[in-house]
Amino acid sequence: MNILLTGGAGYIGSHIAVALTDAGHRISIVDNFVNSVPEAIVRVEKITGKNIVLHKTDVTDREDLTRILHDEKPDCVIHCAGLKSVGESVKKPLKYYRNNINTTLSLLESMKETGIERLVFSSSATVYGEDNIPPFTETMPKGRCANPYGWTKWMQEQIIEDVVKQLKISTVILRYFNPTGAHKSGLIGEEPNGLPNNLMPYILQVADGRREHLTVFGDDYNTPDGTCRRDYIHVMDLAEAHLKAAEYVEKNKGLDVFNIGRGIPCSVLELVKAFEEASEQTIKYEIGSRRDGDVQDIWADTSKAEEVLGWQVHRGINEMCQDAWNWQKKNPAGYAK
Ligand code: WQD
């Protein structure tokens, strides 16, 4: 298939580009590089040995996006473009609502104008309400999100659901849990802008000496070691779920939603320990206060994606930590030369 990837130069987008290209699909990418760099696509081409068409534009620029969709005529659009930090969204809610909602409105209007009929949307486990008891299933209550980031994802899902029904766009929504790790080559990985918001990138910067210690945001939660539990999933397992989703929308009409996680909880301190074992590095940490917007327990019931998409997780926590550390060691300054 000819697939257009919004946000394709980002951490998750670049890994999806590798998985789809390696599976023989033709990929074009739209990215404004607000949270990524063109070098990531050079690396994707190096890994896959294939050319990737790159369009530098902001997905909220509907006119430019419509021109690109008209020229590329994709069989399917995978929509990853968006701001994605829980912590930052609490501090800058207006930036998150303005950007994330507008990317989806602009894309749907462009798809309507150009008659594109298939969509895969990158959503998040943060759409599940705070009161859900894990493992989360797709039918559990959504909304009552704990942070603005989660609300923007939930609102985008609502907009998509109403529009694709009317426009008859075959759609899959993938609710990501915590993507972690990097491609085995160490050529692509997560490069946070400035101070890392997410746990693994922060651990990596402590491991390579750029940060003095990790601050654990609270150890007074009602969990075995007092720290929050998440469902960390290797970014390549997540990327491969998009391959299954693209194949699914090619064969099926309507809209469907799938949780994409490993289905296994891992606490902050358990991830620190797993990283120390995998990397043979010591991670100094201090216990700090809780972070606004955090939820104690989030992990997936992945049975629907396994049964309906035919998707399986193949990589565990140790491989995530090894591959993340491999990326960090090979790219101590990220993608900068
Ligand atoms: C994980 C845990 C923190 C940093 C992420 C993505 C979001 C979405 C959901 C896809 C929490 C703790 C963190 C630190 C810490 N993914 N922590 N010290 O908040 O689950 O959200 O997954 O849609 O895009 O951001 O991930 O890595 O920020 O935090 O103690 O320096 O690690 O409190 O319990 P989160 P995270």
Q: Give 270 Cα–ligand 1 centroid separation in angstroms.
A: 14
Could you tell me which of 226, 327, 237, 239 has the C-alpha nearest to residue 275?
A: 327
State mean pLDDT over 124-131: 87
Higher pLDDT: 88 or 203? It is: 203
Supply the residue whose CA is at minimum distance from atom 22 of ligand 1.
178
Supply the pLDDT for residue 168. Answer: 94
- 198, pLDDT greater than 70: yes
Q: Average pLDDT for residues 149-164, to the nearest whole number?
A: 96
Coil, helix or strand at residue 113: helix
- Catalytic residue, chosen from 11, 96, 128, 149, is 149
CA nearest to 297, candidates 199, 238, 226, 200: 226
Q: Which atom of ligand 1 is nearest to the CA of 293?
A: 19
CA of 199 to the centre of ligand 1 (A): 6
Farthest-apart Cα atoms in the chain, separation? 54
Pocket test for ligand 1, best of 12, 90, 126 (most atoms within 8 A of CB): 126
Question: Counting atoms of ligand 1 from 1, which one is nearest the CA of 122?
Answer: 23
Q: Is 149 an active-site residue? A: yes
Does the pLDDT at position 292 exceed 90? no
pLDDT score recorded for residue 194: 83
Residue 153 CA, closest ligand 1 atom number:
23
3-class DSSP assignment, residue 140 = coil
pLDDT at 203 over 90: yes
Q: In order of start, what are the domains of the chain with their CATH numbers?
A: 2-182+233-262+300-313 (3.40.50.720)
pLDDT at residue 195 is higher than 90 = no
Q: Which atom of ligand 1 is nearest to the CA of 298?
A: 20
Cα(176) to ligand 1 centroid in Å equals: 12
Rounded distance, CA 130 to CA 132, Å?
A: 6
Q: What does the pLDDT average to over 141-146? A: 89
Does residue 141 have a pLDDT over 70?
yes
Q: Whose CA is nearest to atom 18 of ligand 1?
A: 216
Pocket of ligand 1 (CB under 6 A): 84-86, 124-126, 176, 178, 197-199, 202, 214-217, 228, 230, 268, 291, 294
For ligand 1, atom 11, which residue shows the shortest CA distance?
228
Give dist(CA 311, CA 141) in Å, integer.
24
Average pLDDT, the chain: 96
Q: Whose CA is nearest to atom 24 of ligand 1?
A: 84
**Ligand 1 centroid to residue 229 C-alpha, Å:** 10
- Over residues 19-44, mean pLDDT: 96
191 CA distance to ligand 1 middle (Å): 15
29 sits in which H/E element: strand 26-31
Query: How far, in Å, CA of 80 to CA of 157, rounded?
Result: 13
CA 336 – CA 158 distance, rounded (Å): 38
pLDDT tops 80 at residue 294: yes
The residues facing 128 across adjacent strands are 142
The per-residue pLDDT for 129 is 76
- The closest-lying atom of ligand 1 relative to the alpha carbon of residue 288 is 30
Protein residue with its CA nearest to atom 27 in ligand 1 = 198
What is the pLDDT at residue 337? Answer: 61
Nearest C-alpha neighbor of 198 from the set 252, 142, 124, 255: 124
Question: pLDDT band for position 293 (50/70/90)?
Answer: confident
Residue 55 has pLDDT above 70, yes or no: yes
Higher pLDDT, 328 or 293: 328
Q: How far is the CA of 310 from the centre of ligand 1 (A)?
A: 28
pLDDT at 192 over 90: no
The CA–CA distances, whole Å, from 7 to 36, 59, 100, 142 equal 8, 8, 12, 25
- pLDDT beyond 70 at 247: yes
In terms of residues, how long is the chain?
Answer: 337
Ligand 1 atom 13, closest CA: 199
pLDDT confidence band for 87 (50 / 70 / 90): confident
